Amino acid sequence: MPEAWSAFSYIVTNLARFIRPGEVTFSGVNSTPAMLACLLAKRAYDFDFVYINVAGGVQPTPSKIPISSSDPVLAEGSSAIFANEDFYDLCTRGGMDLCFLGAAQVDGLGRTNVSAIGDWHNPKVRLPGGGGGAVMLPTARRAVTWRTEHSKRTMVEKLDFVTASTIDPSAQTAFGGHCYAPLFDNTNRLGEQYPTSNAFGSEAPVPVVPTTWGKIKNLYH
C-alpha cells in the first residue's frame, strides 16, 4: 500500500523537481521547504549540483536536519562560506542558475510582496522585507517562488506592494504570465522535462502542466 503524501511533502518534493544537473542552486531566508528540497535532492538524485544557502554554506553536509533555513548547521562541511554580498555578486554576474524565494503575495507574473499588506503608508501588516529578493529574482537564470498557503489573499492579481519583480510587465507576453500549481517558475522555459532519476518513486506527485494565470486564479473564486 503506497505511503500517504502530506501537503508539506508534496511541496518539498515538487520544489526538488526544479533542480537540474550541474546547476548552482540557492535557497533563501525563511525558505525551509526550499532548503529541505535541496537537501532531499542531494540525497535522492544520481546527479550532482552545487547547493548554496542563505546561512552561507556552499555544498554543506549538515549533521542533522536544520530547524530553520538560516541554521548554522547549514554551514557544516562547507567548501566555502559566503556572505550576503557574495550571493548577490554571483547572481548579478549570471552565476546563479536556480534561486528559491518565498513570498507573502505572488502575482501572475511571478512578482513578490514581502514588504507590507495594505497601503504602504498605513499598512495592515508590516512585513520583514525582501532581503536580497529584489536583486536575485530578476538576475537569477531561473527563480522559483513558493507559498504553503494557496488562496486568494496569497495568489493575487495585484500586489499590495512590489518588493521584487522578475521582468518588465510590458514583456509578459514574451516571458511570463504562466505558472505552475503549486509552484511558480518565472522563466520562459516552462514545460521542459528534466530527469528525476525516479528518485521519489512511481507514486510521487508530478507538477501540473503550466497554465495561464487566468485559469489559476479561477481556482480560488
CA 70 to chain centre: 15
Can you give the pTM of this predicted structure? 0.74
Residue 219 scores a pLDDT above 70: no
Instruction: Work out the average pLDDT over 52-56.
Output: 93
Q: Where are the alpha helices (DSSP H) in the chain?
A: 7-16, 32-44, 84-92, 133-139, 172-175, 213-218
CA gap 96, 138 in Å, rounded: 11
What is the model's pLDDT at position 60?
A: 94
- Which pLDDT band holds residue 2 (cuts at 50, 70, 90)? low
Task: Determine what percent of the chain is predicted with pLDDT higher than 70.
Answer: 74
Strand partners for 125? 117
Residue with cell 511571478: 110
Residue 1 scores a pLDDT above 60: no
Q: For residue 56, give the nearest of 30, 31, 76 by alpha carbon.
A: 76
For residue range 159-216, list pLDDT tens digits in order.
999 999 876 544 333 233 333 333 444 433 333 333 333 333 333 333 333 333 343 3
What is the model's pLDDT at position 167?
A: 60
What is the model's pLDDT at position 156?
A: 93
What is the model's pLDDT at position 168?
A: 52
Share the mean pLDDT of the chain.
77
What is the model's pLDDT at position 12?
A: 92
What class is the 7-218 domain?
alpha beta
| Local structure of 184: helix, strand or coil | strand
Residue with cell 531561473: 142
What is the model's pLDDT at position 163?
A: 93
CA gap 22, 48 in Å, rounded: 6
Instruction: Work out the average pLDDT over 39-53.
Output: 94
Q: For residue 109, give the nearest of 154, 166, 161, 40 by alpha carbon.
A: 166
What is the model's pLDDT at position 171?
A: 39
Residue 25 scores a pLDDT above 90: yes
Q: Where are the domains of the chain?
A: 7-218
Determine whether 158 is exposed, middle or buried from the number of CB atoms within 10 Å of its CB (0-12, 13-18, 19+).
exposed
What is the model's pLDDT at position 50?
A: 96
CA gap 96, 168 in Å, rounded: 20
Residue 97 scores a pLDDT above 90: yes
Residue with cell 530527469: 195
Q: Flag the least confident range among 94-98, 145-149, 155-159, 205-209.
A: 205-209
For residue range 63-94, list pLDDT tens digits in order.
998 888 889 999 999 999 999 899 899 999 99
